[in-house]
Chains A and B, each alone.
Chain A
Amino acid sequence: MTLYALAYAVAAALACWESGGLKNARVWALAPARSRYRIAANVLIPVVLLSWLVLILPPAISLVRSGTFPTLDSLRLPAAAMLISVAHAVLGFAVGCRLPRVIATPILAVTVWITVAFTRAVQPYWPRHVSGQFGTYGFGEVPDLITVAVPVMLAGGIALGLMALWLPRGWVALRVALACTVGVSGALGAYRVAADWSAAPPLSTGNVAMVCTGSAPRMCVPDFNARYLPKVQRDTAKALTVLRDAGATRARPGMITDGYVDGRFQRPSTDEVWRMILTRPVQRGDAVYQVVVKSLKFQCKQVDVRTARAAWLWAAVRTGQEGAYRMRREQEGVDPVARQVEKQVRADVERVLAQPKTAQTRWIDQTLRTCKASAR
């Protein structure tokens, strides 16, 4: 759940209420002893702090519970949201100066909350990019600075414009002109920048520290999986060698890397570089099995379950990954039909494994080529 909209609504509504309180107390009619900005800032500080609390407390609790230290990149969104809440506080303050607070506050709260939150679900994409209701970012994704700057530009421009209206000297017409210029240029600038963006704002993926090891294939995983890596790389190299010797594959990947860090911009694998989702499999212990499955290339469009699984199970047994195969099947769910298929597959594979190596090579070659297990 993202609380950006709620934080902005809290800032705007409470600022409106406080500003109405100053107006009712006729503070602005007093002879000025302190700067008006300072008076406004004094009442806005608790308001802004509360809205910052709305933004920061939930992620802070999460981070503490998981014992994680936030990276510098991850602070971009909260920092921008904090600036935007200040801007909303200024906006609410301006509304409270003009309208009776009892009427304006609830309407402002609901309006800000709904308008900002609902931009996530409207069709041209630019409102969601300028509203400050940031989307969800995946592992390894970092929003570009322009992405977080655009909503700050809109809200901040309007807020600066309103603050220019309260300048203590200068002609009113000049101040109004200045305020309009700043506000309109902020809003238009934000719109012009974000108008062409798609659903995903500019962001970079793959911002994860990787560790690599070995060669042929060289394997790379995020550094928190480093302790699994040597064994996984060794087993993968061995498994690929076994499969090549058995004639099941000709694949010789130079590099196998974890594609999970590429987030929403997944890049395709090539013969040389394989990108696979390995983060969980490495921890779970079926990463080698995933590589084995990927190395078996069926050469027809459709493969029936029994044939596919027979080939996979055969390869898994030959490379010592039978446990991973069984784990995968259990994850998919064991129902009577699946159990029936599994029994057949097991019988097929046992028959094949009992044959001499050359016959096995012939069998797997034929299976991959015709997608029909001939051992039935």
Chain B
Amino acid sequence: MRWWFKARKGHTLLPLALAVFLGALYAVQDTTVLLPSIVGSPRVALSLFVPVPLLAFLMAALESRLPAAESSGVRSLARLDNSLITAVMAAAVLCGVLVAAVQGTAAATTGGRNALFLTGLMLIGRAWVGQAAVMVPVGWLVTIAVVGFRGNLPYAWTVIALPADHVFAAAASLIVFAIGLVSHTRSSRRSA
């Protein structure tokens, strides 16, 4: 198991990923940006984009593998990978709660929730396109910036643009993440 962790570069990439996530989440606070959009110019919270580096590092960790040893081994690496993903996501949610507690606003908790949702999307995409799926969350972000707002209010399907206390967004994130894990279990043996 230690070798598996080393092969995934978990000891270097993951602490870096979480540090970047935590730092960025703390730094952006409630900053919003004006982005070009089809309907008006919604003020998009900068915290929407904070999970992107975390996902990139996570994908890099999952893609860092020893194909020969992994496809001939008897241990279920999918299960180990899934627990790795889940642990990283738990840490991300914890980071969100931590930053929210320090700043005294609930806004930062959306960081953890959004990381969960976008990771789910990325893992679903990974079943089809392999490591290029790291761009699926970016595509989702572009889509919601362009068509996801009615005036300044996000549509419900955007999920990640919804406020922190939105029950549907939390449930949708969990469900998408779960689907992502399942599809990842089915596809992770294939070396991409």
Given the interface contacts A109-B135, A110-B138, does A100 sit within 8 Å of B60 by beta carbon? yes
Closest to B141 in A: A110
Q: CB-CB < 8 A to B33: which residues of A? A: 114, 117-118, 121
A106 touches B36 (CB 8 A): no
Given the interface contacts A1-B36, A1-B38, A121-B33, does A105 sit within 8 Å of B134 by beta carbon? yes
A107 touches B52 (CB 8 A): yes
Proximity string of chain B (140-158) to chain A, C-beta cutoff 8 Å, 1 when within and 0 when not = 0110001000000000000
A106 touches B35 (CB 8 A): no
Within residues 125 to 139 of chain B, which ones have a CB less than 8 A from any CB in chain A?
131-132, 134-135, 137-138
Give A1 to B55 CA distance when docked, in angstroms: 29
A96 to chain B: closest CB distance in Å?
13
Does B56 count as interface, using CB distance less than 8 angstroms?
yes
A102 touches B141 (CB 8 A): no
Give A104 to B141 CA distance when docked, in angstroms: 17
Give A17 to B46 CA distance when docked, in angstroms: 24
Give A102 to B63 CA distance when docked, in angstroms: 9
A-B contact count (CB 8 A): 63
A106 touches B34 (CB 8 A): no
Does B59 count as interface, using CB distance less than 8 angstroms?
yes
Given the interface contacts A102-B56, A110-B52, does A117 sit within 8 Å of B35 by beta carbon? yes
B138 touches A109 (CB 8 A): yes
Does A344 count as interface, using CB distance less than 8 angstroms?
no
Q: Is the interface of B mostly helix, strand, loop or mixed?
A: helix
Q: How many residues of B contact A (CB 8 A)?
A: 25
Proximity string of chain A (107-120) to chain B, C-beta cutoff 8 Å, 1 when within and 0 when not = 10110011001101
Q: CB-CB < 8 A to B36: which residues of A? A: 1-3, 5-6, 117, 120
Q: CB-CB < 8 A to A17: which residues of B? A: 132
Does A349 count as interface, using CB distance less than 8 angstroms?
no
Q: CB-CB < 8 A to A117: which residues of B? A: 33-36
Given the interface contacts A107-B52, A107-B53, A110-B49, does A102 sit within 8 Å of B34 by beta carbon? no
Q: CB-CB < 8 A to A102: which residues of B? A: 56, 59-60, 63, 131, 134
Proximity string of chain B (58-74) to chain A, C-beta cutoff 8 Å, 1 when within and 0 when not = 01100100000000000
Proximity string of chain A (73-109) to chain B, C-beta cutoff 8 Å, 1 when within and 0 when not = 0000000000000000000000000001011111101
Does B57 count as interface, using CB distance less than 8 angstroms?
yes
Does A13 count as interface, using CB distance less than 8 angstroms?
yes
B52 touches A106 (CB 8 A): yes
Give A2 to B37 CA distance when docked, in angstroms: 8
Contact of B35 among A13, A107, A109, A114 (CB under 8 A): A114
Contact of A13 among B57, B131, B135, B137 (CB under 8 A): B135
Which A residues have a C-beta under 8 Å from some C-beta of B?
Answer: 1-3, 5-6, 13, 17, 100, 102-107, 109-110, 113-114, 117-118, 120-121
A-B contact pairs, 24 of them (CB 8 A): A1-B37, A1-B38, A3-B36, A6-B36, A6-B142, A13-B135, A17-B132, A100-B60, A102-B60, A103-B56, A103-B57, A105-B134, A105-B135, A106-B52, A106-B134, A106-B137, A107-B52, A110-B52, A110-B138, A117-B35, A118-B33, A120-B34, A120-B36, A121-B34
